[in-house]
Amino acid sequence: MAKRKKAAKSKRKKAAKPKGKQHTGLFILHRFCGDEAFVISEAKMFAFRKDKDLQLWFEANTDGECVQQLEDTSELYAKPKADVRIHLKQFDPEQLVGQKFKVTGYDKDTRDPLGMIYYVEHDELMENVVEVLGREGNVFEVRWTGITTDVNYYDGSKPKTQIEIVGRFTFREMEKWKTA
pLDDT in tens, 61-81: 999 999 999 999 988 989 999
Tell me the whole-structure pTM to 2 decimals: 0.85
Residue 14 has pLDDT above 50, yes or no: no
Cβ atoms 135, 166 nearer than 8 A: no
In this predicted structure, what is the pLDDT of residue 179?
Answer: 61
In this predicted structure, what is the pLDDT of residue 51?
Answer: 78
Q: Tell me the C-alpha distance between 26 and 174, whole Å.
A: 23
Q: How many other C-beta atoms lie within 10 A of the C-beta of residue 33?
A: 20
**Helix (H) or strand (E) run with residue 27 in it:** strand 25-31
Condensed to tens digits (0 to 9), the pLDDT of residues 108-151 reads: 878 889 999 999 889 999 999 999 999 999 999 999 999 999 99
In this predicted structure, what is the pLDDT of residue 22?
Answer: 60
In this predicted structure, what is the pLDDT of residue 4?
Answer: 47
Q: Tell me the C-alpha distance between 55 and 146, whole Å.
A: 18
Identify the band that residue 90 occupies on the pLDDT scale cut at 50, 70 and 90: confident
Q: Where are the domains of the chain?
A: 23-173
In this predicted structure, what is the pLDDT of residue 171?
Answer: 93
Type of residue at 172 = R
In this predicted structure, what is the pLDDT of residue 15?
Answer: 42
